[in-house]
Structure 1
């Protein structure tokens, strides 16, 4: 690709019929050029061989041939358009009219080059040793602010990049290396530090996971202990419920029988006694279960004794009502109790 092809006037590569870049360009005897398809359609529709631009008429239809020079120019222009620098691209420092994208930056010349202008660095011996890098913005940052030369060395004593003049001036007799060598050294150092940090982090994660497992196991063990505390009282209560259900079934059977003598003389007295014993003898046991199940709950603040219940073996309806009233009163008294929780520091309400 040559730069001269990019400086050709835009109109010379534009078809005046479709107003677009020439496609398969052909030139007439008058010197004007058109797309092969455009001029052919124009002549077919008009029925006359005339130049659409200057209106010159030809006596006979011309044999149209592709203009090789224009075709090559159009091809180069299309390639240049694809390589044209956009707003976010780095422009070639040597393109004049159409700014193409830079493909390399030279740290020796402190300039950026497109593919066309970069060829000199590949062909001229004095330019072959220049330092070429990927396109770089603000390339002036790679220039020594004091001597206006490219930064070519790294001073390990002061940890700064310097130019060739700095070596003979402020950094004389200092230890210097090439920037790429120092970069490789620092890269290795960073990788080692990163690896060490990852190992420390891995150990920390393992420690946290082990601690979480231990804490989880402690919670499970404590949970199992609490479940065992409730297991025996629950089994006792289930047995008592079973007994009560049995008594309830007997009462139901009694209420449905038609034998009045059986009800009055036999079953009534027996079931009444059993019912009274079951209610009053088991009543204190329920509270004992509560106190055994929750050992942290101590006796009331005020010295209070459990309500005593006297059960008579002689059963009657009046006695049942009396004892039930006594039981109700006892329950109301118990509901007024105040409990304290026993802690290591002492008692708390």
Structure 2
């Protein structure tokens, strides 16, 4: 990294692709992203929001972050210079230029190293070709990682979009359950009132029957009491001739007992 760039490399990396910023843009929330990364993220999301803090972006085309772009370009230039210097690094064992790359041990070697016992039977290629092959391999790996990242971004966006419908469905179901129980409570209340009313009606009906029976019983008791009194007087106080003269009427009255207990059976 160049000495002119004092920030840590992670501060110069895009949160989406995790690589050094390319044409960085700045959102109102102060987060920066590669222009293409941000656009790709917005293409997979229903809302234009920050991928980090989810704050809505007010502008469709955010402004370029020129200061950050300059720092990233300085970092890239430093890497290029380091790479150029690395091509002139000498072998620590033989003092020769590292012109070859050992495909077995995955490290640069000099001609003397290739002839040594350590790398004698190993396949080696020129460093220029090895560098290109390594870049191609890393490019494939990076493409796989980027595709996976894009899939996760889309999955996250889809999941976030489904949160609101799930909440709305739960609220609607809750409302329906409450409405059903309100109807059930009303039904039970009406059923209770109807049964209590029927019970009250049955009670009044039975009380009316009992009162009628009491009235009839009282009338029967009065009639029998008078009859007993008359017969007793005839038997004890009347002359024999008077008894005989009144016997027919007296016996007929005695035989007419009025309503008895058997007349009230079946009324309870």
TM-score band, normalised by the shorter chain? 0.3 to 0.5
- Which of the two has greater helix per residue? 2
Q: Which has the higher contact order (CA 8 A, sep 6+)?
A: 2
The normalised TM-score by structure 2 is: 0.33
